[in-house]
Copies of this chain bind each other. A is one copy, B any other.
């Protein structure tokens, strides 16, 4: 059982202009991925693009690995050109995973962040209050799939083209307002763009200071440029409070998103 294996493209279909779903059938025995883990993927075998790119496991069913991806630059563009039958080399599953929730929980997805959170919603069906925001309707994908496995779903778009107009974090703030609590969730799981995570961090800080709040924990999946995905290059580090360092004078240390992450306790991250 190796974490470096060949897989055959079963299909690779475009959901809309920006998003596609890739289904891969591994050609050898693989480790079973956990929600929050990721794989390094690359189409083709030329030197441009050179490096593999990280993608969260979106679904694992019937030994099929599914990835939901957004076409951004040359790596994802070349991925979008994979055709059924094409064979690629894959590394994974990599990184840690979301800790198992106890009871109901909140999931906060910004844009393509849904890809990472969906397996969590799916494994713990009907236990998540899903907050899912995006720029516009086109950037919201898999809503039906997500709704079907969530307890309740809150949708926002920046332009109001779907769901409520506004930021998803504002909807979350409303929901968390201690004076009108309607839920029993004590944990938040989040994946999305850095500005969203920073705002979440602000929200969490004020929640924790508020004795009436139920929220006690928050886990976020972080993104950084990666080269190796396996902890070797030190390219993907984030600043984390230095609790584990011998030298207590050290306020922070770098941890590798690909190895100690991608999932971190939001309190441990130093947001700059």
Which residues does A use to contact B, with CB under 8 Å?
46-49, 74, 78, 83
Contacts and interface: CB of A to CB of B under 8 A. Distances in A.
A83 B84 CA distance: 13
When A and B form their complex, which 9 residue pairs have the shortest distance between CB atoms, in order from nearest?
Answer: A48-B48, A47-B48, A46-B48, A46-B46, A46-B74, A46-B49, A46-B78, A83-B83, A47-B47
A240 to B, nearest CB: 36
Contacts of A47: 47-48
Contacts of A74: 46
A74 B48 CA distance: 12
Copies in the assembly, this chain? 2
Contacts of A46: 46, 48-49, 74, 78
A209 to B, nearest CB: 51
9 contacts: A46-B46, A46-B48, A46-B49, A46-B74, A46-B78, A47-B47, A47-B48, A48-B48, A83-B83
Contacts of A83: 83
A48 B47 CA distance: 6
A48 B49 CA distance: 8
A239 to B, nearest CB: 34
A219 B74 CA distance: 45
A96 to B, nearest CB: 33
Contacts of A49: 46
A47 B46 CA distance: 9
Nearest to A74: B46
Given A46-B48, A46-B78, 7 more contacts: A46-B46, A46-B49, A46-B74, A47-B47, A47-B48, A48-B48, A83-B83
Nearest to A47: B48
A71 to B, nearest CB: 14
Nearest to A46: B48
A47 B74 CA distance: 11
Contacts of A48: 46-48
A78 B78 CA distance: 13
A194 to B, nearest CB: 28
Residue in A48, A74, A78 with the greatest tally of chain B CB atoms within 10 Å: A48
Contacts of A78: 46
A83 B83 CA distance: 10
A261 B49 CA distance: 36
A47 to B, nearest CB: 4
Residue in A46, A74, A78 with the greatest tally of chain B CB atoms within 10 Å: A46
A197 to B, nearest CB: 32
A83 B86 CA distance: 13
A83 B49 CA distance: 20
